Every structure is written in structure tokens, then in C-alpha cells.
Amino acid sequence: MSTTNPSAMRVTAPAKINLHLRVGPPTADGFHPLSSWMVTVGLFDNLEFTLTDTPGVRLTSDDPALPTDASNLVVKTATGLLDAANLAASTGVDITLHKRIPSGAGLGGGSSDGAFTLLALNQLLQLNWSPDRLATLASRYGSDLAFFCHGPSSICTGRGEIVHPIAPPCAKYAILILPPIHMPTPAVYKRFDQLLPSELGTRNSELSPPDYATWPTLTAQELLPKLINDLEPPAFSLSEPLADLHARATKILDARIVRMSGSGSTLFTLYDTRDEAETNADRLRLTLGVNVQPVELAPNRGAK
């Protein structure tokens, strides 16, 4: 976060990937319990905040497809914070969002924008609320928001709102494969339930965490075989192009393990060094014909 004006601030909001994602059967309220290792990556949206004396939250964006009304998580979280701090009647905020994280890609861009809105306004308004207090407020607006209030590497359980920070992975870089495919999360979960009914009775026991204490010490080659995403089969069954892209990427990388983030459509693999990531990103980019980006794992907050 950076600012030179006490009433204004600029923030970079990182994307995330789910290195590991196990999904349990839906509970009585219809939500699926999760166990996931989430890590931020070096792909950022940019947010600018200016406090005003005119009450209300006003959002503009350079993405014409993005709603900027009360349905946007940035507006929701900013409004929620002003209400919770009893400032809604006296304080307003103008927000500009420069969108770089693709939507519907399993990268949590909207959740990151919402969470970093809380972090920025907490600092700008000098509220001095703790990350736990901000995360509790954030969890009202979506399961992934609490992670971004803690980050950059955490085990998330429950619906994703119970966050336990851990060391980032020893592998320092990932390749993100970013196809122009939008995967609606509700549809993927619905397909998950349809594909795996016989397994749902045993999946709660499978959500007990692995030995996460040792996983961050593993090299990329050691860690990749341990990673699972239970949403890959339903996502691939819903999108043949995504399944084909996964198969092609795996082949190009000489059978290296390629995983999907969240409910898709982003695919990724891990490397220990920048040179490895950049070299193999070039191989994929030339052959796949889609956006491929090498990124740092768990970058420092505020990094551009």
C-alpha cells in the first residue's frame, strides 16, 4: 500500500491459487466444507481510494464488463466497513479499480479486491482494527475474503473463512495458464455433486489436513504429486476445451503435474526458480495460444 495524501491511497490486490483443495459433501445449508492451501501470486488488480465529505461509496473501473454498483464486492465491503465504524453518515469514498486479474478464473480477484478494500480503508481511516476483526467482517461477503486479510499463505477450512497462516511454499514460482474460459462456481459445485454421489458419504473424513507443517519445505517436484483439486473432474466434464488444454499443457511439459485453481479455469504448475518458470512459460505460450504468465508465489504485499 502506498500514499502521499492522507486522504488517498493506492493498493495492489493480489490473485491467489489453491495449491491443494479438498471438498466435502454439502451440509444442511447447502455449502460444501473445504480444506485448502491458498497462496497469493504475483498478478495484481490496482485500487485507488480517496476519502470525501460526501457520504456513500462510488466505484469506477477500466473494465466495462464489471458491475460498479452495490453488487460489487468492493462497494459491499467499503459500505460494510463504514457502517461498522459508524462513519457512513459523515464519510464517503471514491474508488477506482484497474482490473488485471481475470474473472471466473479461480484466482479470487473479486475477493482480493474486497478484502484489500477493507485493509486500505482500515489504514486510511486510522481504525487500527486487527486482521482477525477485518477477516470476521470480510467473511460476511464471501468465503475467500478472510484469506486475503491474512495471506499470503494459509490453510483455509470451513467454507474457506477459517484461516490458519502457514509458511509459503519452498517453490517460489508458478506458471499460470489463463484461458479465456469462464467457469461459474455454482455450476462446478453442482456438477461435483452429480459426479461423486457415491463418495460423498466418506469425504468429510478426507478433509482432515495432511502434514501441512512439512509441505512448505518441499521442492516443486516433491510437492506437486501431493496436490489435489477435487473440482477438476467436474470442471473438466463441463468444459471440454479446458480438459483438452490441461492435457496439452501436461504433455508439453513432459508429463509434469498441472493443477487447476479453485473452480477453474486457471491451470498452474510450480517451479523452484524464476528461470525454470520463464523458460517453460515460453514453451507453453508458443504452443497453447493462450495467455501464460510466470508469477512469484506469496509476493510481498504491495509489490507492483
Nearest alpha-carbon partner for 159 in 298, 259, 19, 30: 30
Q: Is 144 labeled as catalytic in the residue annotation?
A: yes
DSSP output for 16-69: EEEEEEEE----TTSPPPEEEEEEEEEEEEEEEEEEESS-EEEEEES-TTS--S
The single-letter DSSP state of residue 175 is E
Q: Is 76 labeled as catalytic in the residue annotation?
A: no
As a dihedral over the C-alpha atoms of residue 228, residue 229, residue 234, residue 237, rounded to 10 degrees, the angle is -70
CB 157, CB 34: distance < 8 Å: yes
Nearest alpha-carbon partner for 156 in 268, 17, 258, 264: 17
Which residue among 16, 76, 99, 172 is the active-site one? 16
Three-state secondary structure call for residue 125: coil
Work out the number of other CB atoms within 10 angstroms of the CB of residue 83.
12
Q: Which residues, including other chains, have CB under 8 Å from residue 170's CB and lie 6 or more apart?
A: 216, 217, 218, 219, 220, 223, 272
Which residue among 99, 144, 172, 230 is the active-site one? 144
Nearest alpha-carbon partner for 190 in 20, 22, 31: 31
- Positions annotated as catalytic residues are 16, 144
